[in-house]
Each structure stands twice: as structure tokens, then as C-alpha cells.
Structure 1
Amino acid sequence: MPISEETLQASVLGRAIDEASNETVRAVLKSTCAKSDEAHKEAESRLVAVITDAKDEPGAAKTPVPRYAVCVNCEKEFDVTTNTKKSCRYHPRKCEPTGEELWDDNYDEFEVDTEEMRQDFPHCFTFGCCDGNLEDNPEGCVNDFHEEPHSNEKPAKRARAC
């Protein structure tokens, strides 16, 4: 009988999984999948998707691909099977320090374009694509497909996961 996710979460094993590094969890998962056909099939059903040619041709080639990727635009993980034209929101151009407040009292004594300065003065960092700033429009001015790191094209039509 399978163990429920709630039971696993409350167990010592569940806590060990939560506390282990990503590298350790990946190594254990790969090792478990190599030793157990059932574990391999379960992992594959959750982590691999099948894509088909966007032309909707009968008998079009189907290719297995990783189901999850990190978008190069918004830097968020996404499921390739649910990626749509409105899934990703991002700014196509970087924000630059533009606020005078950044240089008041600093007199060029230190770097102004840092994460700390972006957090402390979000209104002083402006995007070249829309003239919005980190305070008013941090999410983005463009909606589009999430973009996979290796892809130079729009996503192909996605079929359901394996």
C-alpha cells in the first residue's frame, strides 16, 4: 500500500528530504530510479512530457522533454505542458539606476547598482522598455510564452505528460 504524502511529510524521512540539499535529493532520486522500475516509471510520469509538432499533422513526431524548465525571461520555473502566450510576464530590457536620490550623499563613493540599493530605492531603477520602475512595475510590461534556456523558437504544441 502506498504511503500518503501527509504521512511522508510527518515522518523522519519527510524531514530528511526537506533538509537535504538539492544535489543530495537529485542523487538519491537518480539512484532510486536506477534500482527500481516502479520508481523510474513514477519519476518519468511526473518529470517528463511529450511534445508534438505544432502543425497538428497526424503521425507527427513526438519527443520526450523535461516537463519543468526555468524561464530565461522571468526566471521562474514553469510546466512546459501548460505554457501559453500569457504565462510569462517580464521586462525585455534591464532596469538602470536613474534616480538622483541614489547619488545624493554618496558622491560616487560606492556602487549604486546593487541588490541592496534596488531593495532600498526601487523607485530609482527604471526599465528602458516601458519607463516603469521597480516599485511601480516590478513584474514586467510584456506577456508572452515562458522561454526555455535552449529554445530559440516559440514553444511547440505540447501534448499531455507521459
Structure 2
Amino acid sequence: MPVPDEEPDNLPLLLEAIKNQPIHRLEGILQDIVKHSPEGRKIASKWLLAAKNDVKSEPAAKEESIASVPMTSRFENCIYCLEDFKVTQNSETSCKYHLESDVVDEEYFKAEIAAGYDVDSDEYRLAWPEGFFYPCCGMGLTGKMCQVGWHKAADPDDRPRKRTRRSEF
């Protein structure tokens, strides 16, 4: 019986199988590949890590020292706009956001609110974007963002730690 990786042209079948797997299984498979295959580690590093000196961020103050770690995660989540961003493509105009969440314009939805409708929903935002605004700048949902700047990743010390499961013996 042939070994699956020795069979000719099983790539299409493997790609289809990958599409049909739950994310937790794919994560486990990727971790296994990275642990046991130097080539797998090299490929994963190319996609998931970036050299520290390729990271573009807001210029640091003179007294801050550059970390001695040569590699960092290539993708981060911005604490301002809450979007994922590529650290090597960050710039002073990459992040666009509002300081406050949008709110219902109660005057605009006066009749609906009086009738007891819950207008503070995604459906209403899509149908009537003019009925919402950002208190930080007064702009509506269809206007430009009032803040533009560098993406900022959460400080690693502030990130919640994953809990590990403890086996009960």
C-alpha cells in the first residue's frame, strides 16, 4: 500500500481536504509541520514572521532601545481601528478610525423610537446610515474617519494569555 505523500499528484485532493477542515484541526496540523519539518518552519516563517528592521511603525523616541529579537509577527491587530494589519506595510496614513463608537441620532429616528423599535442595530445602520453619527466629530457613517495615523498593535504585556487546560488525574 503506497504512502499518501508518495502517490502521484495528490495535490488537488490535499487542497480540497484542507478546505473542508475545521480551523482548530488545521492549526494543529500546521504546528506539527512546523515542529517536525525544517522546510515547513521556513515556509511558515516567511508568511507569519517579519524581520524587526522591516517593521514600519511610528518613529520611536531616542531613549527607547530596539529589542534584540530579530523577528516579530508579520500580522498584528490594531488597537485603534481593530483591523488586522501587515507590520511591514504600516504608515502614518494606514489607520483610519473614530475616537468613539457611532450612536443613534434620536431626532432622526424619533417616530421609530416612540413606537418601541430597536433602531440601534446593524440592519438600521445599513438601511439608514444617515440616522447615525460619531460624537467625536459629528460625522455620519458615510463620512471620512476623523483620525488618521499609524496602526498600533497591543502591547504584548497587555494581551490576554491563553489558558492551558490542566488534566484532572
Q: Calculate the TM-score normalised by the size of structure 2.
A: 0.69
Task: Identify which of 72, 81, 90 aligns with 2:79.
Answer: 72
Q: Which structure 1 residue ranges, 4+ long, deviate > 4 Å from structure 2?
A: 52-57
**TM-align CA RMSD:** 3.1
Aligned partners of 2:106 and 2:113 also within 8 Å: no
Q: Is the Cα–Cα contact under 8 Å of residues 77 and 153 in structure 2 kept in the other structure?
A: yes
Is 1:47 matched with 2:48?
yes
Identify the residue that residue 62 of structure 1 maps to in structure 2: 68
Q: Distance in 2 between matches of 1:74 and 1:103?
A: 30
CA displacement at 1:132 relative to structure 2: 0.9
Q: CA deviation at 1:100?
A: 2.8
Partner of 2:4: none
More strand by share: 1
Q: CA deviation at 1:102?
A: 2.3
Asked if 1:141 corresponds to 2:146, the answer is: yes
Q: Output one character per residue of 1:67-97: Cα deviation in whole Å (capped at 9) or x when no partner.
A: 1012222222211122111111111121110
Unaligned regions of 5+ residues in structure 2, if any?
A: 1-8, 54-58, 158-169
Deviation at 1:55?
Answer: 6.8
2:139 maps to which residue? Answer: 132
2:98 & 2:36 partners in 1: Cα distance? 45
**The residue matched to 1:11 in structure 2 has which SS?**
helix
Determine if the alignment matches structure 1 residue 118 to structure 2 residue 158. Answer: no
1:90 pairs with 2:97: yes
The number of equivalent residue pairs is: 142
Tell me the distance in 2 between the aligned counterparts of 1:18 and 1:88.
Answer: 32
For 1:18 and 1:99, locate their aligned partners in 2 and report how far apart those are by CA, in whole Å.
45
Distance 1:78 1:18 in 2: 24
1:105 and 1:81, CA in 2 relative to 1: closer, same or farther beyond 3 A? closer
Q: Which has the higher contact order (CA 8 A, sep 6+)?
A: 1
DSSP 3-state at the match of 1:104: helix
Q: Distance in 1 between matches of 2:40 and 2:156?
A: 30
**Change over 3 Å in CA distance of 1:60–1:124 after alignment to 2:** closer
The TM-score, its normalising length taken from structure 1, stands at 0.72
Residue by residue over 1:31-71, the C-alpha shift from the partner in whole angstroms, topping out at 9 and shown as x without a partner, is 111121110121112211232594799x9543222110122
